[in-house]
Each structure stands twice: as structure tokens, then as C-alpha cells.
Amino acid sequence: MNKTTNIMIVGVGGQGVLLASELICEALLAKDYDVKKSEVHGMAQRGGSVVTNVRFGDKVYSPLITEGEADFLLSFEQMETLRWLDYIHSDTRIIVNEQQIVPMPVAIGQGSYPKNAIGNLKEVTEKVNAFNALEVAKEAGNIKTVNVILVGALSKYIDIPEDHWKEIIKKRVPPKTLEANLKAFDLGKNS
């Protein structure tokens, strides 16, 4: 039987969602999985929603994850997690950055930010790993490493050796940020 694993990666433009999805895809491809990826990043440059679907297995026929099929939801921001809840099931593992990025309608008083987002997630699935990845990134020495921290947190659940993930990171991040990104990966793996 061909089991396809579905990873949905969501966030806001500028958070590094696309690099995170590329790191994940490269790690999976190098381990001979069939991998398909789909990206939607319409208003991403203006702080809009960004979503990437990554599907892998022996044979994958479509890059799109349908409602109720995400095995992992890797979220860079709390409200973005809530936007995509229709795609999870009771056994989905949710890894969420507790950071809140207030969207423009909320900032100008035309809406409100959801209260108790993390608590609401735990009502849907018990498999919620929520932590403040921005604070962890500060510990890593670079606030732009939130994406690699979240990849590190996901790596605990994907059967790929740690040194393999680190080789992919070494190939993909700028040399001047390599040390911070490797530390970020380790911190994420332990979060």
C-alpha cells in the first residue's frame, strides 16, 4: 500500500515559509521519496497569507492536500493556523509558532485577533506543539531563523537523519547565517 504523507506549511509573507518548504522537499527527495509541492503566495510580499503543500511517499499523484488530509500542519503564525483547520484530522500533528502578526483589518480596528488560538487547537487534536519560535530564534542569534527552527521541530517526526537535514541547510542558507541556522535547527528539534 502506498502511504502518502501530507505536510501543510502556512504563514505570512516574509516569514520564510517558502524556504522551509524547499528545505523539507530537498531532504525528502534526497531520500528517494516521490515529492510534490504546491505554493500559494498571492499577497505574500504585503504580509498576506502563504501556504505550501508538500506531499511525499512511494508515488504521489498530486501536489494538493484536500480538506481533512493534512498529517502535519507547520504554522508560522497563530491566526494562519486557524485559517487552515479544515485541512486537519484528529491525528494531525500541529507545530505552531505562538507569534501573532496582526493583519491590517485588525490593526485599523475592523476586526479582532482570535483569542485563545492555541487552546482552540488542542480541542481539535492533542498533538499540538506550540512554542514561541521568535524567542527561540533570538537564542539562535538571528530572528530570521524562525523557519529553520520550525523545520527542526518537524524533523523529529520525519524519518530523515539529523546530519542529512543539516547538509541540506548548509547548501541552502547564506554562509553568513549558517552557524545561526544550524543552531536554530537544533533548538527547534528540542522545542
Question: In this predicted model, what pLDDT tens digit does every residue of 55-68 receive, in sequence order?
Answer: 999 999 999 999 99
Q: CA 124 to CA 36: how far, in whole Å?
A: 27
**What is residue 56's predicted lDDT score, i.e. its pLDDT?**
98
Write out the three cell numbers for 167.
547538509
The secondary structure element, H or E, covering residue 152 is helix 146-155
Residue 44 has pLDDT above 70, yes or no: no
Q: Residue 146: its pLDDT value, please? A: 97
122, 128 Cβ separation under 8 angstroms: yes
Annotated domain spans of the chain:
5-106+113-188
* Per-residue pLDDT tens over the stretch 27-37: 999 999 999 99
What pTM value is reported for the model? 0.92
Assigned architecture for domain 5-106+113-188: 3-Layer(aba) Sandwich (3.40)
Among the residue ranges 88-92, 104-108, 124-128, the one predicted with the least confidence is 104-108
